[in-house]
Amino acid sequence: MYDILIKQATLIDGTGEPGWTGDVGVINGRFTAIEPSIKLTNARKTIQGSGLALTPGFIDIHTHSDDSWLEDPLSKIKLQQGVTLEVVGNCGTSLAPLDPVTRDMALADALSDIEKYDNPMEGLSFKDYRTSLEKKGLSINVMGLIGHGTLRIAAMGFSDKIPNAGQMEHMKTLLGVAMDQGALGMSTGLIYAPGIFARTPELVELSRVVAKRGGFYASHMRNEAEGILAAIDEAITIGEQARIPVQLSHLKITGNKNWGLADQVIKKLLSARERGIGLTCDVYPYFSSKTSLTALIPPWAIVGGVENVRQLSRSMVIEGLQRERLSRLTLDFDGSVQSTKGHAEGTAVGFNKAKKGARSYYPLFCTVAQTGQFLDLHHRPGNVHDSNGAQRFMLNCLSETKAQLAGAVFESRMDSAFFSKNIMSIFNSKHVKFTASVPFERLTQLKEMIESRKRWRKIDNQWSYFETSWKPKSWETCYPFIFTRKKTRKQHKGMLQLHLFEPRDIDFDYKVTVTNKTESAKSVVLFHNGRGSQERIFGDAKNDAALNVIPSKKLAGNQLFTLCAMMAHNLSRELQMLAAPSAAPRALPKRPASWVFEKLDTLRHRIIQRAGRFTRPQGELTLTMSANQAVRRDLLQFIGVLQKAA
């Protein structure tokens, strides 16, 4: 008796032969009879297949469902398409094997949020990954490849170097163990870091480990556009030298100017097969494709990961400062909240005045007042105090800029979050003139000094002050403390406990500033109040360069996006600095920007977001736009200064 009997379906067996009408009998989950007509009709379940096609299950050989199976082990969407075998671990990325030192780096590279699933992978090996899937109870078969990028991260991170003997042995050992635990091959992603740094001999040596165990090599090739023929040659070389079957992933020719290479591609594939190389390929069943943003970043900018992009951003600003030869530089330090409605890696619930209870990041920024640019950032979760990591970050910013910009006078402004003996000592030791707001709640003596003060010196109709040399008990060095009051008639609202520390008066607002400047109190107050320019930098970058956007669930992606937003803002300033001389040759008391900057959005609307078209009359590339003389003048000016700078 059959468990299932399917009658008179059109049978397509996958051999390439035309379909034919027949019956299929199934016992214990296996086909036991395939005939034009099965005489035995006794079956537990009979299905009339007339007008329907019956095929073996489809193999989906190229997927990125590595962690989707942990979330949805039934995967109805695949079953409904007839898929019965899925291959994961493609394009050089897999969830195993991992190294304990670089585990988080590898998972971030795989864009995997594995920790959010119930009972995630408990170990680091391919066996642990396989066991996790089996415990979920999969609806179809899953075959695992080992990502070459995953192996490289485990052995050497995102280094662009050739692996040394120890690193190579580490990769081969991880790969061999994974193959013995059930993996069926190795994949590469040669347009992605760190696979982009691998040379052909490295891939051959690793492929030999796979070949000895009967596996195959699947490759997202090094080039799918004008360099596709050379990329196919590399894959064939690996197949020949390692004696391993080769699968070319999502074979395509990108860019219509390269479509004429199709005949040569097909000839090259057929020629390799005729020579006995087990070369196969898969293609998309649709016209579009997608990849990660990092694939567009040049390899030199990826070495070292996000940290290298951060270094690039910082060096671009310093090069501009060297070119301008400014005699005075004002570095301002402060944090700015980046909120998200979702759950991004590395975010936390912290103080968020605008969106209470939202998860956020709270990066600490260093900005340059004279150029209105971001020098650097220290990325942090949203639940940290302003001073978290500030001491080392400030020291690094000061050390690098002073080393690169010898001869300039350096100064800095900070709010009360950075008021500490250590930070003040750093600025003093680096010969940096500073001002910092002083927190009343940490020094109860300040309130007493204000309340007992009888005589205040007038700065103008609103401001008055007194000055004293003082230090908290735990400090060794005395500094000038400037006490200011601003005439403003308002009712103070806030926590009642603050009355114990802060001087409250309906007629005045009180502030205390510590400094090592030797200028007049009026100059110090005006200088410190110029900190508001940093808020304008934050506002411009958030409105025009998406600095406040958290686009990804992964920490590395969000850090990279923030750095790109900073660079977009900085480059808009750089372009205008190149196009016009400094508008403020001398230092003004509040240290405003030395140029009159247009916002990035203004430049975008004035120049970029305009109708136009490129043509090639007589072979010369020509941009044709509406006859707007102001736009023409600005565009030619910016093109001219960029060509000169290049």
Phi and psi angles of residue 246, each rounded to the nearest 5 degrees, phi first: -120, 130
Query: Are 352 and 519 within 8 A, CB to CB?
Result: no
Strands of 314-432, DSSP E: 328-335, 338-340, 348-349, 359-361, 364-368, 373-378, 409-414
| Other residues' Cβ atoms within 10 Å of the Cβ of residue 416 | 18
Task: Kindly report, residue by residue over 137-178, the tens digit of the pLDDT.
Answer: 899 999 999 999 999 999 998 888 999 999 999 999 999 999
Phi and psi angles of residue 61, each rounded to the nearest 5 degrees, phi first: -80, -15
Q: Is the pLDDT of residue 494 over 60?
A: no
Q: Domains in the chain, start-ordered, CATH in brackets? A: 2-56 (2.30.40.10), 60-296 (3.20.20.140), 305-415+531-608 (no CATH), 432-527 (no CATH), 610-646 (no CATH)
Q: What is the mean pLDDT of residues 169-192?
A: 96
Task: Kindly report, residue by residue over 569-587, the tens digit of the pLDDT.
Answer: 999 999 999 888 765 666 7
More confident residue, 71 or 351: 71
Q: Is the pLDDT of residue 305 over 90?
A: no
Q: Is the pLDDT of residue 290 over 90?
A: no
Identity of the amino acid at 19: G
Task: Kindly report, residue by residue over 415-427, the tens digit of the pLDDT.
Answer: 999 999 999 999 9
Specify the residue for token string 């590469």. Answer: 188
Spatial separation of the C-alpha atoms in residues 591 and 369, rounded to whole Å:
7
Measured at the CA of 80, the angle between CA 79 and CA 81, to 5 degrees, comes to: 90
Tell me the β-bridge partners of 280. Answer: 247
- What are the Cα distances from residue 432, in Å, to 143, 398, 517, 533? 61, 8, 9, 20
**Residues with Cβ within 8 Å of residue 270, at least 6 apart in sequence:** none
β-strands 479-487, 463-470: how paired? antiparallel
Task: Kindly report, residue by residue over 249-274, the tens digit of the pLDDT.
Answer: 999 998 889 999 999 999 999 999 99
Running DSSP on this structure, what letter comes out for residue 115? G
Copy the structure tokens of residue 592.
């405003």
Copy the structure tokens of residue 367.
């900005």
Q: What is the pLDDT of residue 113?
A: 62
Spatial separation of the C-alpha atoms in residues 433 and 333, rounded to whole Å:
14
Query: Are 170 and 130 within 8 A, CB to CB?
Result: no
Spatial separation of the C-alpha atoms in residues 161 and 230, rounded to whole Å:
22
Task: Kindly report, residue by residue over 365-380, the tens digit of the pLDDT.
Answer: 999 999 999 999 999 9
Q: What is the mean pLDDT of residues 173-192?
A: 96
Q: In what order do the strands lie in the sheet with 279-281?
A: 146-147, 185-189, 216-220, 246-248, 279-281
Does pTM surpass 0.95? no
Mean pLDDT over the full length of the chain: 89
β-strands 463-470, 359-361: how paired? unpaired
Query: Are 25 and 5 within 8 A, CB to CB?
Result: yes
Tell me the β-bridge partners of 22. Answer: 9
CA 585 from chain center: how many Å?
Answer: 38
**Residues with Cβ within 8 Å of residue 8, at least 6 apart in sequence:** 21, 22, 23, 37, 48, 49, 50
Running DSSP on this structure, what letter comes out for residue 190? T
Please give the helix or strand (H or E) that residue 557 lies within, else none. helix 555-579
Percent of the chain with pLDDT over 90: 63
Copy the structure tokens of residue 170.
């580490």
Tell me the β-bridge partners of 189. Answer: 220
| Other residues' Cβ atoms within 10 Å of the Cβ of residue 439 | 15
Sign of torsion over alpha carbons 528, 533, 537, 543: positive
Phi and psi angles of residue 3, each rounded to the nearest 5 degrees, phi first: -75, -45
Q: Is the pLDDT of residue 104 over 80?
A: no
User: Is-cis flag, bond preceding 97, omega within 30?
Assistant: yes
